[in-house]
Structures are given as C-alpha cells and as structure tokens.
Amino acid sequence: MTSAYETATVARLMAAFARRTGLSPAKEHPQRYLWTDAFAVCNFLELSERTGDQEYRRYATELIDQVHRVLGRFRVDDDYRAGWISGLDEEAGRCHPTSGGLRIGKPLKERGTDELLDEQLEWDRDGQYFHYLTKWVHALCQAAFVMRSHKYAQWAGDLAQTAFKKFMRRSGSGKPTGLYWKMSTDLSRPLVPAMGLHDALDGFVTFREVQHAIVKVAGDAEVNGLGEASESLFALCEHGQWSTDDPLGIGGLLFDAYRLCQLVRQKDGRELRLLEDVMEGSANGLMIMLEAGYLKHPAGRRLAFRELGLATGLRAVPLIVTKFQNENKAFGRPALLRLIDLLLHYERLSDEIIDLWLPYAEDPDESWKAHQDIDDVMLATAIAPSTFLSVGNPCPRTH
C-alpha cells in the first residue's frame, strides 16, 4: 500500500465517519462514543500532518468540542439530572469540560441504584470507563502537541486527576489497592468493581504522557500534582502479569510499550524492568493467540476492531527497534532485545489484518455495519498510526 493510497483511504474512511456521526455537517444531536472519538481525533491530526490541509485540524478541534459538549454532560434522556456531569455551572463547565470525567456514550442509561447487575446488559449501559478516559487523555495530549495548545494539555491534566481520584480503590489506611473498571456517570459509585487487566499500566503511561505534554507545551514543571498519581499507579504495575490472548489487549500493550520507550527515564531501572515485563507480556500473549488459531477463524466469528487494535500495536514494533538502536546505551538490556527480535518477526501480521478487513470497509456487509464507526476509525488508525503512536515527537510515517 503506497503512502498516497494510505492517505486517500484514511481520508475516505474519516470523511464517512464524520458524516455518519454528525460531526460534519454538524447535527443538533451528534452520535459520540468516547473510545472511537479518541482514535478519530488522532486520525484527523494525522491527516493534517500528511496533507498540510488545515481542514483536518478543524475536524479534530470540532470533534473535541462535540465530545465535551455531549459526553461531558448528562444524557438528554436522564430523568433527574442535566448540565455538566462535574456539577459546574455553564461557564465554568465550558472552561473545564473534563473535570467531571466523560461518559462512555453507550446506548442505554446507566444502571439505577435499585437495579441488580446484569453482566450482559451492562455492556450496553452508560457510565464511565477508566480505560476510555485514558484514551481521551492521550487524544488531548496529541492535540496539545500538534497544535501547541496549553488548553488541551490542561484539559488532559484535569481529566487524569479526576480519573485517578474517583477510580482508585483504597484500603482502610488509604493505600491504593486497584482501580474500579466502571463508575457511574457522576462518579459517585462503582458500577463494576473489578479492575481491568491493563488499567493500571495504561494509567501510569498515560499520566506520564500528560506530565510530558504539560511541561513541553506549557513549560509547567508542577504538572498539576500528577507525580503522586503516577507513582501510585506505578506501584500497582510492579510485578504485574500482562499476558492476554485478546488481540486488542496485545495491541494495547505494544502501544503502551512504545510510549514507555519514548517517556522512560534513562537511568530508572524500575521503569526499564516494567518495559521489559510489558514486552514479555505482549510476546507471550501473541504466541498464545496464534497457537490457539484465532486469526484462522472465519471473519464472521471475529471482531474487526479488536484485531485492528493489534495491527496498530504491531506497527509500533519497528519504531521500538529504531528507538533501541538510537539509544542503545540507555536501553541495552539483552532480554528486551530478544523480545523485540521475536515481535519484529510477527510485524507482518499487521498488513495481513489490514488486508483482510479493508474490503469489508469498502463494501460493508451486515457484520461490518454493526460496528462500522469503530471498525472504520480503527482501520484508519492501523493504516496510518504515526500520530496515534506518538507522545509529542513525530514518529516516522509507517510504510
């Protein structure tokens, strides 16, 4: 796939997404979903960097504003509440749209306090997910880096602080013990108390990215007190077990690994050990998934967006190689080098996954249409992932 064809394909996918979801032309009640929109912001910024067309920056900024206006407020069908979920008045809410977190954007209202948990139904109910908030924090950081905007870095910091404060589980003595997986829209109660497998890791890496963004864009060394939050999350990560056979989870580990490569303090042995553990978890998970024959199942039994997350993560592997080659004195750990060598052998799977799903995007069947927004957007990210994978230092354009 040539670079020109990549860019044209991504532009086509993102233009269709903008029309369908009410971004452009703007609808009175646009269809916003936090995970998908976080990837979409990065895709529009990527198109801006590739083409020099400032219209794509406008799409990114308008999408950010829509997400905050829609998902930063209570649902229009909420029976009891209205306004900003932070509780701020209109003017303060517009100035600090992320200070109360952001809704997921699920089709159903969150579970009421008098309703029993239905695990199947919960997937379609609204609320807040920690791992969706961190994806949006990353998108805001990318907007801050690309547009040199202190505003986006500040909003990312506000959201990180809120996520840490409200999602952190603590012992009776106040010691952090984990993260709630899902909270109510107003962050007053946990909806699912279990912790996601990679939430602490994703939080630690993302919070370090926020610190980097605020210092780089705004020159603010205080960084909103996120140092303490980062240390607490890092403590939850030490000796973590990261292996998973879920393709989206493996892709997320590789995404976190490359961000760690860009952010790790060169003399911090603890962070280098974490990086090694994450790479090992990625490699082990990939071996388990492949041995189970997951990618040999018929397409109708698979979820495209989960595999496209893996394809995006695999695109980071050669970038990790370059990072290690350029800074060998800092990262020259034999176990890490062996893991990178192993993963590099499977980087070609990213092209195979993209080649499988691209025809479905061009001529969607009912299965693709069922998840079209997230499938299209994550396909675009997998094709052109450089902005998504960056933490402020431009990545080499893939392929």
Does residue 346 carry a pLDDT above 90? Answer: yes
Q: What percent of the chain has pLDDT over 90?
A: 76
Give the pair of three-digit tokens for residue 255. 């995404």
pLDDT score of 1 more than 90: no
CB neighbour list of residue 75: distance below 8 Å, 6 or more residues apart: 103, 109, 126, 185
105: left (phi over 0), alpha (psi -120 to 50) or beta: left
According to the model, what pLDDT value does residue 395 have?
Answer: 52
Is the per-residue pLDDT at 195 higher than 50? yes
Name the E strands within 80-189. Answer: 128-129, 168-170, 176-179, 182-183
Sign of CA dihedral 357, 358, 360, 361: positive
Average pLDDT over residues 82-95: 96
pLDDT tops 90 at residue 34: yes
Dump pLDDT digits (tens) for 121-160.
999 999 999 999 999 999 999 999 999 999 999 999 999 9
- The predicted-structure confidence for 268-290, as pLDDT tens digits, reads as follows 688 888 999 999 999 999 999 99
Identify which of 229, 57, 216 has the alpha carbon closest to the alpha carbon of residue 133: 229
Q: What percent of the chain has pLDDT over 70?
A: 94
Which 3-state string (H, E, C) describes 347-373?
CCHHHHHHHHHHHHHHCCCHHHHHCHH
* DSSP label of 76: T
Tell me how far CA of residue 289 lies from CA of 76, 154, 240, 300, in angstroms: 41, 39, 20, 18
291: which residues sit within 8 A by CB, 6+ positions away? none
What the block records as the tokens of 365 is 């069947």
Would you say residue 329 has pLDDT above 50? no
DSSP one-letter string for 207-242: HHHHHHHIIIII--SSGGGHHHHHHHHHHHHTT---
Specify which residues 125 forms β-bridges with. 108
Q: How many residues does the chain have?
A: 399
With a CB cutoff of 8 Å and minimum separation 6, the contacts of 299 are 356, 357, 360, 367
Q: Which two tokens stand for residue 308?
A: 């496209």
Three-state secondary structure readout of 20-37: HCCCCCCCCCCCCCHHHH
Burial group, residue 94, by CB count within 10 angstroms (0-12, 13-18, 19+): middle
Close Cβ partners of 230 (under 8 Å, ≥ 6 residues apart): 204, 207, 208, 211
- Residue 216: name the closest of 146, 293, 161 by CA: 146
Report which of residues 296 and 39 the model is more confident about: 39
φ/ψ bin of 223: left (φ > 0), alpha (ψ from -120 to 50), beta (otherwise): left
